[in-house]
Amino acid sequence: MKKCITHKKMYATQTLAEDALIDARARFHYRGQQGPVAVYKCDECGQYHLTSQGDMNARLSQDIAAGKIDLQKEANHWLDKMKKR
């Protein structure tokens, strides 16, 4: 598998990167302004990466405003809890 010199995970399309961005925000608990907020096309590899820099991705912003991220966090919490039984 080809690797980017930035050592960041590569996504073939912007849509796949946005899916990963939203999943990361729902799966992990970031403090304050930490964590990925956007995606960008890399000049080095031509693939997409997640970044914590810049303006928040529009799709992520919409999902946060609609409460979708919090609902997915709650679902992930219960899934994790059920797995530990």
Q: What is the DSSP string of the chain?
A: ----TT----BSSHHHHHHHHHHHHHHS---TT-S--EEEE-TTTSSEEEESSSSPPHHHHHHHHTTHHHHHHHHHHHHHHHHT-
Report the predicted TM-score, pTM, of the whole model to 2 decimal places.
0.86
Query: Quick one: pLDDT at residue 3?
Result: 87
Query: Quick one: pLDDT at residue 30?
Result: 87
Cα 35 to Cα 20: distance, rounded to the nearest angstrom: 12
Query: Quick one: pLDDT at residue 1?
Result: 60
In tens, the pLDDT along 7-23 reads 999 999 999 999 999 99
- Under DSSP, is residue 48 helix (H, G, I), strand (E, B) or coil? strand
Residues of the chain scoring pLDDT < 50:
none
